[in-house]
Amino acid sequence: MSNREDLYTILEEEAKDFYLVENIERISKPTPLEFYRDYVSQNRPVIITGALDDWDALVKWKDDDYLCELMKDTKVTVAVTPDGLGDAVKGDLFVKPYEMKLTFKEYFQLLDNQKQCKSTKDKRVYYIQYQNDSFNVEFQNLWKDIKHSNVSFAKEAFGLESDAVNFWMGGNESVSSLHKDPYENIYCVVRGSKLFTLIPPIDYPFLYEKEYKSATYDKDMNIQIDEPPMNVPWIPVDPCQSLEVNESLGYLEIKRAHPLHIQVNEGEILYLPSLYYHRVAQYSPTNKTIAINYWFDMKYGLNYVYFQFLKEYHKQNQKQ
């Protein structure tokens, strides 16, 4: 065993003893102190129940006609891919979705057509995933059904206003590939269920991150290299594939990672700590899942310093 492998083994053992969890707790709405002490300070995910019970959206947003009436002719940004994988590695490229503008009525019609007719010629997958504070930018007509005060426990714990509030909506074929964000994430499921695969930051050495040339699908779903050229660091591994499949692709070390597969249901909140890797799928009998998430800027303290050291140490060892 090399010195590098010795150190990774020590890291795994220490993490199992003092950091990793085998299950994600479900708790009722915590006080800011409880939330910070037991989860934020530990960089530990948790599912919170009951905190959104008085959101009108939990009932009203199950009605497609109601949503279409509220949004009227407002056009929103919709991501389009041939297979449901937005922002994902394809061969030697990191490929972003094509984006188009649709009304809710037009968007719902596409989702309904895909649900009712699997043999449709349109194999494209449509997903509302535009970030950059999308709920406040494109969905003002829906504001009245949400009470931001219901997540005030998080704002008080972080000591910050949210950087962004984002709206997510898609069918059962939409998947966000494995990635991390530099944010503390308060993820609220409004309709349907979200299926998360979570991997802790300490598993970075086993995820095969590397830089890929950036590209984008065009309207005909052909991949076009971005201009000017740029590289994007991303993870090619799908933790929901079997170990045999991943090993056949050369990802032998993925077996050392510690994925947790969880389901977050309507009315529940997932606290997803900063730098935690996550893959996200979804399911709804209506082929329409809706979520809203709040991004709070992370604290660039000791956890970040250790994570950056782990990344650089691993990169240097890969060069040897």
Give the Cα separation of 89 and 95 in Å (integer): 6
> Is the confidence at residue 118, as pLDDT, over 60?
no
How far is residue 3's CA from residue 48's CA, in Å, rounded to a whole number? Answer: 41
pTM of this structure: 0.95
Rg of the chain, C-alpha, whole Å? 20
**What is the domain count for the chain?**
1
Report the alpha-carbon distance of residue 109 to residue 122 in Å, rounded: 12
pLDDT of 239 strictly over 80:
yes
Phi/psi region, residue 79 (left: phi>0; alpha: psi -120 to 50; beta: rest), is beta
Is residue 217 within 8 A of residue 281, CB to CB? The reply is: no
**pLDDT tens string 270-300:** 999 999 999 999 999 999 999 999 999 999 9
Q: By residue range, what is the domain housing residue 187?
A: 3-319
CATH number for 195 = 2.60.120.10
Q: How far apart are CA 197 and CA 177, in angstroms?
A: 10
Question: Residue 173: which of 217, 131, 127, 130 has the closest Cα?
Answer: 127
